[in-house]
Amino acid sequence: MSFHYVCELTDLTNEELKSFTVNNEKILLIRINDDVFATEPKCPHMKLPLEKGTVVDGCRIQCKFHHAEFDIKSGKAEQWACFPPGIQALNFIRGQKDLQTYNVKNEDGKISIEL
Ligand code: FES
């Protein structure tokens, strides 16, 4: 495991979800003020792109597709797929899973993640 440079802090807009390829791996970066968090880029529900989601209350990512929500820092699933109504009936085959997160280092505005 080692840290790999991703981008400059100034390349990220506050509360934007932006994907990058680092060391042949796709990751998602989320900037919250001067903090940056890194997660896997695909929602664990149906592997659709989380980049199209939004930040909720400055601390959770909501997936655009079925509204699963994940804690940005820990990746813990705080809400599982619940949109459109009735999709919960499929949860027995797509059980709740957390989002993988990565350690992030910010050195003078240079953002690296540990892979
Ligand atoms: S793909 Fe994200 S909640 Fe379904």
Q: Which domains does the chain have, with CATH numbers?
A: 3-114 (2.102.10.10)
Q: Give the integer Cα–Cα distance in Å for 8 and 102.
A: 17
Tokens of 103: 């350690």
Distance in Å, CA 43 to ligand 1 centroid: 6
Question: And the tokens for 42?
Answer: 């695909």
81 Cβ closer than 6 Å to some ligand 1 atom: yes
Please return the burial class of 95, using the count of CB atoms within 10 Å of its CB with bins 0-12, 13-18 and 19+: exposed
Distance from residue 80's CA to the centre of ligand 1 (Å): 8
Mean pLDDT of 32-43: 97
Question: Which amino acid, one-letter code, is at 42?
Answer: K
Give the pLDDT of residue 73: 97
> Atom 1 in ligand 1: which residue has the minimum CA distance?
46
Q: What is the pLDDT of residues 68-105, one digit of tens each?
A: 999 999 999 999 999 999 888 888 888 999 999 999 99
- pLDDT given at position 28: 98
- What pLDDT, in 10s, does the model give residues 53-70? 999 999 999 999 999 999
